[in-house]
């Protein structure tokens, strides 16, 4: 559909360059935005039960992976940045019996399928990462295959209707920006209209059964969307 995937390697190298900064700012307990704006509705949609096997997609330094474990889950978490994963392993050392961390690229179907365990995943989550991933088609397909019947995939992202390049909504596009003020290099963001993201959900067999639009500092302006897909 487009050639965003040609930028995957450059995007990965920018996340590598920003990983120490991300780690320093997110620390052991994440930041206000993730903790207080994104987490409550994400946790409501995920509804973690004791023993759930959860795939944490593009986990960064593992803040949300640790939260999942605190809520009773066993977690397989991955990111394509080696530095992010080494920070994650160090910071989440106390939970190493409940979280497996892997370096894996969400744009590569075969690599995603190597994350398969001896039982299907109950749930999958991508916390504020879908707009950072160059090609989400392989991910949506693989997650559908890795989930148990009726399993759910919850993802949050910058709300594409409100956080987007100037003057464009319907055309997918790449733009540069900062996740953390003062990070060493600008990262790529991949803008897609909601109809494109949901098309990938529907063609793979998911239905949408949960949706929140959450404001940050302006109550009338949703900074993020949080969507629950269910394997039909
Ligand atoms: C905004 S951070 C979110 C990290 C984490 N989910 C959290 O909530 O703290 C986005 C993450 O997506 C990762 N990422 C981007 N593209 C990826 C890809 N193709 N495969 C795996 N990880 C990717 C980046 O390395 C970065 O760690």
How far from 127 is each of 3, 31, 42, 96, 167, CA to CA, in Å?
Answer: 24, 13, 8, 20, 26
Residue 52 lies in a domain: yes
Predicted local distance difference test score (pLDDT) of residue 166: 85
Residue 103 lies in a domain: yes
- Domain count for the chain: 1
Residue 185 lies in a domain: no
- pTM for the full predicted model: 0.98
Q: In which element (H, E) is residue 110 found?
A: helix 109-113
105 CB less than 6 Å from ligand 1? yes
**What CATH number does the domain containing 133 carry?**
3.40.50.150
In sequence order, the 6+-apart residues with CB closer than 8 A to the CB of 114 are 104
H-helix segments, 128-188: 137-146
Residue 207 lies in a domain: yes
Predicted local distance difference test score (pLDDT) of residue 137: 97
* SS3 of residue 229 by DSSP: strand
DSSP 178: -
Predicted local distance difference test score (pLDDT) of residue 46: 98
139 CB less than 6 Å from ligand 1? no
Residue 183 lies in a domain: no
Domain that holds residue 119: 4-170+190-231
Ligand 1 center to 230 CA (angstroms): 22
Find tokens 């590569």 and name the residue: 108
Q: Which residue CA neighbors atom 27 of ligand 1 most closely?
A: 60
CB 97 within 8 A of CB 91: no
Residue 181 lies in a domain: no
Look up residue 132 and give its two tokens. 């950072």
146 CB less than 6 Å from ligand 1? no
Residue 220 lies in a domain: yes
Predicted local distance difference test score (pLDDT) of residue 150: 98
Predicted local distance difference test score (pLDDT) of residue 232: 85
Residue 29 lies in a domain: yes
pLDDT per residue, tens digit, the chain (232 aa), is: 568 989 999 999 999 999 999 999 999 999 999 999 999 999 999 999 999 999 999 999 999 999 999 999 999 999 999 999 999 999 999 999 999 999 999 999 999 999 999 999 999 999 999 999 999 999 999 999 999 999 999 999 999 999 999 889 999 999 999 999 999 999 999 999 999 999 999 999 999 999 999 999 999 999 999 999 999 8
- CA separation for the pair 173, 169 (Å, rounded): 9
């Amino acid at each position: 559909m487009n050639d965003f995937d040609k930028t995957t390697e450059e995007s990965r190298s920018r996340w590598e360059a920003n990983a120490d900064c991300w780690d320093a700012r997110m620390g052991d307990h994440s930041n206000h935005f993730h903790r207080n704006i994104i987490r409550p509705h994400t946790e409501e949609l995920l509804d973690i039960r004791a023993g759930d096997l959860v795939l944490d997609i593009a986990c960064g330094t593992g803040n949300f992976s640790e939260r999942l474990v605190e809520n009773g889950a066993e977690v397989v978490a991955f990111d394509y940045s080696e530095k992010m994963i080494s920070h994650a392993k160090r910071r989440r050392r106390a939970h190493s019996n409940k979280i497996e961390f892997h370096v894996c690229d969400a744009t590569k179907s075969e690599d995603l399928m190597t994350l398969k365990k001896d039982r299907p995943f109950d749930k999958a989550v991508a916390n504020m990462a879908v707009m950072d991933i160059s090609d989400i088609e392989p991910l949506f397909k693989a997650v559908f295959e890795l989930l148990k019947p009726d399993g759910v995939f919850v993802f949050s992202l910058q709300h594409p209707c409100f956080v987007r390049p100037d003057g464009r909504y319907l055309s997918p596009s790449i733009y540069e920006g900062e996740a953390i003020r003062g990070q060493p290099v600008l990262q790529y963001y991949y803008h897609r209209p909601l109809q494109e993201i949901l098309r990938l959900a529907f063609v793979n067999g998911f239905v949408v059964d949960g949706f929140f639009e959450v404001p940050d500092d302006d109550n009338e302006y949703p900074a993020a969307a949080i969507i629950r897909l269910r394997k039909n």
